[in-house]
Structure formats: structure tokens, C-alpha cells
Amino acid sequence: MLPPLSTEQVIERTVREEWGRILASLVSGLNDLQLAEDCLQEAVISALDHWGKNGLPRSPSAWLITVARRKALDKLRRAQNFARKENEIAYLLELENRPLDDPMTETIPDKRLEMIFTCCHPALERKSQVALTLRTLGGLSTDEIAAAFLDKPASMQKRITRAKQQIARGGIPYEVPQDADLPERTSAVLSVLYLIFNEGYSANSGTAVLRSDLSGEAIRLTRIIAALLPNDCEAAGLLALMLLHDSRRNARVGPAGEMIALEDQNRKRWDREKIQEGVAILNETLPKQGIGPYQIQAAISAVHAQSPAWDQTDWTEIVALYELLLAMQPSPVVQVNLAVAVSYAQTPDAALTIMEKVATAAKIQTYQPYHAAMGNLLARAGRITEAKVSFENAIELSENAQEIVFLQNAARRLLH
């Protein structure tokens, strides 16, 4: 049996799980993110004391929001601009004047969707969107966010404060956008979540533990958003994509921290539960109208995830999916991926024909994976001298030590 959780652990867990929901609900009545956050923080501190003495209340989250509201009422009363805050005070008093037991067991209305649209508002810088989303919905501390992005806590604090001021001054509303704006704004939210996931997934920087937390956090938030937007196939698609990628977390890095290519990964180390869940979500989502890039990428990942071995991969299926993705997102990056799939479905020479079309694309010559793919394709086509040059280019462009080792190994293996 596991030892019982300490009060501190329960509080930490409740706060992490419920922070976004409570904060979003507070903000929707107070219209002041900073005030809401300060009050919730104070409520958490108070919870340590009360819960420590008496055990957990019937509903920890209802307890927290009630105390946070009371703190807000108290602060607003003392505030200089008391008169201007009449609406907020009236709102809080109305909540206070309910029968005694209501506040102790209330169900907190879910305003997280409104909140994430505010955090990912296009008026804010992308990095601020990410930080604010992690802070407000994820309940991560400023220090944790700073550590995850290798920023100084002070500058991360400044960034978050500035973003909050921008929301307050710019009158950015806490609401779900109008129908006409919804698809575009949703796609901005999803790209912020994907960015958070990738920050955690790429072992480029930061400590490994924090980074993996970031991916877990992105999955948790995407799960919430996908549940709140049940008709958005791309939200479900993104969740599936994250789960399928994340299923390979333990297999993609070796004992010395080195990257392991999909080809060489021990598939027994893939997380079956995550794969099953990702595939189940896809099976449910794909038949609906509303296919998009996240779903297609998830489908590609699912083909790999379900294939028992590298040489049993259904490359024809993967090529078809990349062609679909390319039609939706015409980009040289997708084309490079398509070419690699074609090299296995057909021949390396067929793939090189596709790569010729990519070679003239803007910026492709500074795109490291292009050169790595070229090295791989040329080597397999028997054009060793050219392959060597491509690998050298790729290594030249790489800024990451693990990646350089990875490329060197790939080159060594293919060129002999």
C-alpha cells in the first residue's frame, strides 16, 4: 500500500489540478487577473493552515474559491477606487449571501476556455502567450516557467506582469471569440499548446525532468481544451498527436542522453497505453468532417506506433498521408518528410526527384533536417561522395551536441 498523502501533497495536487478552473472562474467575476491570482495565492497559503489542522474540507476547490473570493472582497473594500469597484463587490456579496453550505460544496463553473482564449490573444507576444497559459491554466509558478525556458525568474516575472497589464489596459475580454473568429483563434490556442509540448519534447535545453513535465502539462491542457471544444476535430487531433509522440518518450533517448532514431528504437519501450488512447481518439475523430494537419500528423505517428518493426512499416500509407498533409500545408518541410517516406515506399532515387523540387525553396539550405535527409537518401542511392557533403552540411548547421553525435553516427553507418 502506498503511504497516505501528506496535507502538503494533497494541497499541491489540488492546486495543480484545480488552479486553472478556480482562477478562470474568479477572473470571470472580478475581471482582474492580478487580483484573482493574488487572492487565490493567499487562499492556498491559508489552506495549508486549515487543512493541516482539520483535514481536507468536503470540497477543496470550493473551499479555495470561497476563501479567494472573501479575500477579494476584503481587498476591494480597502481599495482606493472603492466606488469604481461596486459591480465586482456586488457580485462577490451576492455569492457570499447564499445559504451557509452552498459555498462549501459548490460546483465551480468552468471558465477555462474563456481564459485560454485570453491568454492566447493575438495582441500578446507568442512567448507571453505560452508563459501566461502555463501560469494561469497550468498553475505553474513563475520560477518553474522560467526554468523550463531557461529564462531568469525576474525577466519571466516581468514578461507575465506585462502581459497581464496588456490584457487589463487593452480591455482584452475574458470570453470565447465570436463564431467568425473562432477557428482562427482556436488554431492560435492549439499552436501555443503544441509549442509547450514541443518545448518539453525536444531535449534541447533545460533539465530533462522539467522538460518532460512541460509535455505532460501540454497534454493535460490539451485534454481539457479538447473536452471543452468537442466539435473541434483539430483539438482532438492535437491531443492524439501529443499522446502518440509522447508514447516514444522513453525509447527515443539512450542511457547517455543520446537521441535514438525511430528506426533504432526499442519498440517494447513505447507506452502502449498512450498509443491506445491516441489511436482511439483518432478513430473517433477522423470520420467526422474537419480533417486538419494535426489529425494527419497524428495519423502518420499512429502508423509508426502500430507497426511491430521498422521494416514492417506501412510506407505506402505514410506517403499517402504526407501527400494529404502537403496539399493542406504546402511547405518544403513537409516535402522533405514526404521524400523520406517515398524512399522507403519506393526507392531512394524516387525520393531524390522530390528533393530536387525542394532544393530551390527559400531558406531550405539553412534547414538542418534537409541536409540530413539528403545525406541519408544519397547514401542509400549509392552516391557516397555527395552524401558525405550533405552530412557535413547538416553537422555544420546543428547547434546541439546530442544532435551532432546523432548525425555523425548516421553518417558513419550509411557511408560504409
Partner 1 sequence: MQFMCLIYSAPNSGPKPGTPEFGMFMKGYGDFTQTVKADGKFVAGDALQGADTATTVSVRAGKAETIDGPFAETKEQLGGYYLLDCTDMDEALKYAAMIPSSEFGRIEVRPVMVWDT
Which residues of this protein are in contact with partner 1, per CB under 8 A?
43, 46, 50, 53-55, 57-58, 63, 66-67, 70-71, 73-74, 77-78, 96, 100-101, 104
96 vs 273, which CB is nearer to partner 1? 96
Of 97 and 385, CB closest to partner 1? 97
Within 79-181, where are the H helices? Answer: 86-96, 102-105, 112-119, 126-136, 142-148, 153-169
CB of 57 to partner 1, least distance (A): 5
CB of residue 14 to partner 1, shortest distance in Å: 15
Read off the C-alpha cell for 270: 513505447
Shortest distance (Å) from residue 3 CB to partner 1: 22
User: Which DSSP string do the residues of 302-341 spell out, in sequence order?
Assistant: HHHHH-SSGGG--HHHHHHHHHHHHHHS--HHHHHHHHHH
The distance of closest approach from Cβ of residue 229 to partner 1 in the complex, given in angstroms and rounded to an integer, is: 34
Nearest to 354 by CA among 367, 337, 369: 337
Smaller CB separation from partner 1, 70 or 164: 70
Contacts of 126 (CB under 8 A, 6+ apart): 192, 195
Q: Is 201 exposed, middle or buried (0-12, 13-18, 19+ CB in 10 A)?
A: buried
By the 10 Å C-beta count (0-12 exposed, 13-18 middle, 19+ buried), 125 is classed as middle
User: Measured from the CB atom, is 42 or 151 closer to partner 1?
Assistant: 42
- C-beta pairs of 84-90 under 8 Å, 24+ apart in sequence: 88/29, 88/30, 88/31, 88/32
Whole-number minimum distance, CB 102 to partner 1, in Å? 12
First-to-final CA distance of the chain: 54
- R_g (Cα) of the chain, nearest Å: 25
Shorter beta-carbon distance to partner 1: residue 66 or 136: 66
Nearer CB in complex with partner 1: 71/304 = 71
Min separation Cβ 27 and partner 1, Å: 20
* Closest CB to partner 1 among residues 74, 284: 74
**Cβ 135 to partner 1, closest distance in Å?**
24
